[in-house]
Chains A and B, each alone.
Chain A
Amino acid sequence: MNALSEKLLGGKQGAIHLAILAVLLLVILPLCLDLFRLGLVGKYVTYAFVAISLVLLWGNGGVLSLGQGMFFGLGGYCMAMFLKLEASDPISTKIQTTPGIPDFMDWNQIVALPWFWEPFKSLPLTLLLVLGVPVLLAFIIGMAMFTRRVGGVYFSIITQAIALILSILIVGQQGYTGGVNGITDLKTLSGWDIRTDSAKYWLYFVNASLLILCIMLSRFILTSKFGMLLLAMRDKEERVRFSGYDVASFKIFIFCVAAMISAVGGAMFTLQIGFMSPSFVGIVPSIEMVIFAAVGGRMSLIGAVYGTLLVNFGKTMFSETYPELWLFLMGGLFIAVVMFFPEGLAGLYEKYAPYFSITSLHTRWLKKVQKVSGESQ
């Protein structure tokens, strides 16, 4: 049990960092911010799920997926489909040609609910699919890529292409998916109105707690032998293979875990923001998420969360004043990270934090005192 808690928390140091993050997200921010700003933080936290999935996959596994947005989006769409069906009950949609189906279907002359919407009538099934659909897609992509030993840049490009295909598919199939507008006008979750202030607070706390849980799950993976093997594969894949490990199965597994974590973020996004659209599925969001992870530190689970929060605060502040400059700044930021601090904020912290720690300040102060007293003698 002790060993397990140590693995989940990542030792004393890891536990402290996790506790600080938890206090910040669960206590300090809710106390300091108004509901609108807190809602923004909640939105950023959903991106942080993707960032920590990239820490697992990219930072530790050396597999750069430029298509994590599709798992975020799929998780979000699965949630949105459930909420949309609940919002489209026959009474509130009675002015439609076909009452009881989502409004965008009615606008597209669809007269019956498509078969793949059926499972989203049930909440337990929906929750299962929120995780299951992205994991299944990741499993198929992983099987196709990793067993054929597609890796490196090729894997990145292919995941990017799949993300693009998926977003085009969603936009193109307007009658089934809501098209470019996405799925909007979501109201209740099993009768619980998600638009009220109290619901927003509740969802914020659920969201932040899930993030902490996902960090703990990731810690467990990274501190196990599996985590060490991930690093080993990143270093020398051949050596791992010729040490008796089936490299492909390890990569498929971590790709599926990363997809699952991203999907949780997507589902929480839908619940908090109240819609899901293809703009969270394609290439741009997928690459943005990589930048969040890189800025925070691609080796650090906690760092990736801070990176996501900071970049997004920057984005919100900057794009309020200079909307056209933001993209250039973001690009510049990414180049700066790659060139000057490849380990991101977490790397800077690890490098300079010891210098500012209490013990080191204390020893320096002692030295100074000794020096002064030595001189006075």
Chain B
Amino acid sequence: MNPTEFILTIEDLTVSFDGFKAVDNLNLYIENNELRVVIGPNGAGKTTLLDLICGKTKATSGSIKFKNTELTRLAEHQIVRTGVGRKFQTPSIYENLTVYQNLEVSYPEGRSVLGSLFFNTTHAVQARVHSIAEEIFLIEQLNLQAALLSHGQKQWLEIGMLLMQDPELLMLDEPVAGMSAKERDLTADLLNRICKNRSVLVIEHDMEFVKKIAHKVTVLHQGKILAEGSMEKIQSNETVIDVYLGH
């Protein structure tokens, strides 16, 4: 296949920490507008994979190409500017700012020192904050201090902060951790909505949730890909059942 059809092309990616290979010779291809879920047991290298893509961890060898830009050599903020957004496992928001400010500060303009000093909150910015807040179910809480949100709402807020940047690749590390059943359903709807015009890469343990959202599932085990395919195919895969899903 022609590599330019993929938004993200990971080839021969390896990272080793003192000889331990957390990600081992990994190949992963993500298409435009695809919602991919990565599952796997603890220590499989899922979070490390996201760290590598967004530049938090530097790869030992291999290549990560995003729309034909090599990411492995870029600094974190440059990777973000190419269009990659990443949500962390524990909700990481600015607790001392309001929901509105959290979203506003994530708006992808005024990103340089001088730019931010002379940045003006235009109507376009306000409109965008409101539309995103609506999307992440926080329109009522706009003026609330973010520290006062529930755990699930914090997760949504962080997704919203990423949506403000309108990334072409959105990476979410366990987005429904600590959410109630109802919040999980809402989040599944949200993800299904937002993957319409971008690719989404999700790490998740909750198989019910994965079923609701995944276009395609990748199973990681000991830094390698164990299986890849549709949810049904993965669930009936004998090795996957052995190492992860259980009988």
Contacts and interface: CB of A to CB of B under 8 A. Distances in A.
Interface of A: 3, 220-221, 224-226, 228-229, 231-232, 234-236, 238-239, 241-247, 249-250, 253
Contacts of A235: 93-97
B116 interface: yes
Nearest to B108: A244
Interface stretch (B72-80, B175-183, B218-226): B72-80
Given A225-B105, A225-B117, A239 B93 contact: yes
Interface string B208-225: 000000000000000000
Nearest to B101: A228
Nearest 6 A/B pairs, CB to CB = A244-B80, A225-B119, A226-B116, A225-B116, A235-B94, A232-B94
A239 B110 CA distance: 16
Chain A interface, >50% SS class: helix
A226 B116 CA distance: 5
Given A239-B93, A243-B165, 4 more contacts: A225-B110, A235-B93, A235-B96, A245-B111
Q: Which one of A226, A234, A243, A246 has the greatest number of beta carbons of chain B within 10 Å? A: A243
Contacts of B76: 241-242
B208 to A, nearest CB: 29
Nearest to A233: B94
Contact of B113 (A228, A231, A249): A249
B116 A244 contact: no
29 contacts: A224-B117, A225-B104, A225-B105, A225-B116, A226-B113, A228-B97, A228-B105, A229-B105, A231-B94, A231-B97, A232-B97, A235-B95, A235-B96, A236-B92, A236-B95, A238-B92, A239-B92, A239-B93, A239-B158, A242-B56, A242-B77, A243-B165, A244-B81, A244-B108, A245-B77, A245-B111, A246-B112, A250-B113, A253-B113
Contacts of B158: 239
A226 B111 CA distance: 9
Interface size class of B (residues with CB under 8 A): 20 to 34
Contacts of A241: 76-77
Interface string B81-117: 1000110100011111100010011101011110011
A242 B81 CA distance: 9
A244 B111 contact: yes
A3 B122 CA distance: 12
A236 B93 CA distance: 7
A256 to B, nearest CB: 10
A249 B115 CA distance: 12
A4 to B, nearest CB: 10
B118 interface: yes
Contacts of B94: 231-232, 235-236, 239
Contact of A242 (B86, B116, B117): B86
B172 interface: no
A246 B119 CA distance: 16
A244 B117 contact: no
A249 B165 contact: no
Contacts of A238: 56, 88, 92
A194 to B, nearest CB: 35
